């Protein structure tokens, strides 16, 4: 069983930056594909970014491409989401997730992920 805890959310002005962290316990993350999703009020949970078990491949939603960067430090059992040039529409609860598949082909599909954190709120103001 993997437990995931997100941190780093908060209130930031449009154009600003935040770095989210996802710390894991219970098992080493080195074999897991990892993803970030987000959910705004009244909306479905949407894919944001994903990274394969070894960090060799990363994937992004079109809406965040060029602004967000996903990375991992397997030695620290931690996943990161660096967010820059934040927009008001980035406001959401952000969740990290782990997949038993180290490199899931359907990386943008929430059902592929087996473990989820509790989420961290990101609010972008004008």
33-56 pLDDT, tens digit per residue, is 999 999 999 999 999 999 999 999
Q: Report pLDDT for 105.
A: 84
Pairing between strand 92-99 and 120-125?
Answer: antiparallel
How far is the C-alpha of 115 from the C-alpha of 22, rounded, in Å?
12
> Across residues 9-25, what is the average pLDDT?
97
**7: nearest Cα among 25, 21, 18, 26:** 21
* Strand, helix or coil for residue 109: coil
pLDDT of 99 strictly over 90:
yes
Q: Report pLDDT for 1.
A: 84
């Amino acid at each position: 069983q993997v437990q995931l805890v997100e941190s780093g959310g908060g209130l930031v002005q449009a154009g600003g930056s935040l770095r989210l962290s996802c710390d894991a316990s219970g098992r080493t993350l080195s074999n897991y594909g990892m993803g970030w999703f987000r959910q705004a009020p009244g909306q479905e949970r949407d894919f944001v970014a994903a990274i394969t078990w070894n960090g060799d491949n990363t994937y992004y939603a079109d809406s965040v491409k060029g602004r967000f960067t996903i990375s991992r430090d397997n030695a620290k059992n931690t996943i990161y989401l660096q967010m820059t040039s934040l927009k008001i529409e980035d406001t959401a609860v952000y969740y990290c997730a782990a997949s038993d598949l180290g490199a899931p082909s359907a990386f943008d599909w929430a059902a592929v992920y087996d473990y989820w954190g509790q989420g961290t709120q990101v609010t972008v103001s004008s």
